[in-house]
Amino acid sequence: MALILFAGYLKNAQVAVDAMSICMNILGWTFMVALGFNAAIRSELLCSVRVSNELGAAHPRTAKFSVVVVTMTSFFIGIFLALILIIARKQYPAFFSDSIEVQQLVYDVTPLLAVTIVIDNVQPTFSGVVIGAGWQAYVAYVNIVCYYLVGIPIGIIMGYVFDMGVKGIWYGMISGTGLQTCVLLWMIYRTNWNKEASIAGDRVKQWRGEPDARAKDADSIN
């Protein structure tokens, strides 16, 4: 919503806000479509649970394989939705507005919107993987730095200083989200899954107790 607020201070603010609102609504719809198609493995929460469960069960290879499957599935769903949007870029703006200016601006922003759809289908998956590995704090830092300290300032500079308008603001959002995705991908790529499985096993023993110790206690009681 902050992006729509920034669009309100651009030249010809009414057209900018209308176009930005249309694009943001489409972005939200495509995210929900992807979430519905791939609810079993796509969502950030479920991806976190799957990875954390596999690590806790000492199955590092299964956890790694789950990451590959969910990433590829999310990526191809994003590509499919982006292609539909590109193909219909001349038709769909008319469903939202009668203004020729708004339709033209949405038409111009559609390629950027398509790229954003692909990124937004992959980025939450990476976040879920990293959260499932137990690095919640790192995800928060990455989100804050990449989006709020990089993406939004770039969008403001390109939108206002370079007079690129809505496209400039959207470039900033893509920059922040893209950087966030790259950082998370680098973290996942550098992950030693065997080590993480061992750490997860130690956490299970710490919080739930040693199985052998519980068995010995039960035997002593009997």
User: Roughly how many angstroms between the first and final C-alpha of the chain, as a whole number?
Assistant: 63
pLDDT in tens, 71-123: 888 888 889 989 999 999 999 999 999 999 999 999 999 999 999 999 988 88
Which tokens belong to 18?
């209308």
* Residue 216: predicted pLDDT: 47
* Per-residue buried b or exposed e for 68-104, using 16+ beta carbons within 10 Å of the residue's own CB: eebbebbeebbebbbeebeeebeebbeebbebeebbe
What whole-number distance in Å separates Cα of residue 201 and Cα of residue 134?
12
92 vs 205: CA distance, rounded Å: 55
Gap between the Cα atoms of 54 and 113, Å rounded = 35
CA distance 171 to 65: 33
Question: What average pLDDT score do residues 115-133 get?
Answer: 82
Higher-scoring residue by pLDDT: 217, 61: 61
